C-alpha cells in the first residue's frame, strides 16, 4: 500500500501510510488506542475505502469492494475480538472464508497443506 489516507469528520485516521509485505514476511502494526491501526486493516481487508492512496497486490493496483475481494486476492484478517465457530474444528476455523473444497466439501488434506505452507 502506498499513500493510504483515511479521514473521518474531525480526525485523520491514517495519513500517507506506506507498507510493503513480501511473501513469507510477518509484520505487526502497533500503536496507542485510536492511532488508526484498525482503520488501516479494514482498508486492506475491503471493509472501508481509503480517501487517498493505492493498494497493490502482486504488482497490480486493486480496489476491494468487500472482504470477499480481499480474500480472493489472498488477504485475510483475524479480528481483534474474533469469535470462533465453536461447532467447527480448529482446522475449519483457520481456513474459514477461504476453505479449499472438493466435491462441495472441505478438502481437509488441501487445508492442512495450505496452513503448513502459510506457516513456513
Domain count, the chain: 2
- pLDDT at position 82 is 61
For range 82-108, the mean pLDDT: 77
Residues 89 and 64 in one domain: no
Residues 89 and 63 in one domain: no
| 96: CB partners within 8 A, 6+ apart | 85, 88
Residues 63 and 17 in one domain: yes
25-69: pLDDT as tens digits:
888 889 999 899 999 999 999 999 999 999 999 999 999 999 889
- If one compares 94 and 53, the residue with the highest pLDDT of the two is 53
Beta bridge partners of 102: 105
| CATH code at position 55 | 3.40.50.300
Residues 102 and 70 in one domain: no
Residue 34 to residue 13: CA distance in whole angstroms:
8
- pLDDT at position 79 is 67
- pLDDT at position 37 is 93
- pLDDT > 90 in the chain, percent: 45
Residues 104 and 62 in one domain: no
Residues 65 and 90 in one domain: no
Residues 51 and 66 in one domain: yes
What's this model's pTM, rounded to 2 decimal places? Answer: 0.68
Q: What nine digits make up the cell of 1?
A: 500500500
**Domain range spanning residue 48?**
1-77
Residue 29 to residue 40: CA distance in whole angstroms:
9
Amino acid at each position: 500500500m502506498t499513500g493510504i489516507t483515511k479521514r473521518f469528520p474531525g480526525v485523520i485516521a491514517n495519513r500517507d501510510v506506506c507498507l510493503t509485505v513480501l511473501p513469507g514476511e510477518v509484520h505487526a502494526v502497533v500503536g496507542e488506542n485510536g492511532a488508526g491501526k484498525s482503520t488501516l486493516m479494514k482498508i486492506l481487508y475491503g471493509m472501508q475505502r481509503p480517501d487517498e492512496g493505492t493498494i497493490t497486490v502482486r504488482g497490480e493496483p486493486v480496489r476491494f469492494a468487500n472482504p470477499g475481494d480481499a480474500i480472493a486476492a489472498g488477504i485475510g484478517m483475524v479480528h481483534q475480538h474474533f469469535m470462533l465457530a465453536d461447532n467447527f474444528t480448529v482446522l475449519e476455523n483457520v481456513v474459514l472464508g477461504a476453505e479449499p473444497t472438493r466435491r462441495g466439501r472441505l478438502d481437509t488434506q488441501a487445508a492442512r497443506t495450505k496452513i503448513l505452507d502459510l506457516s513456513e
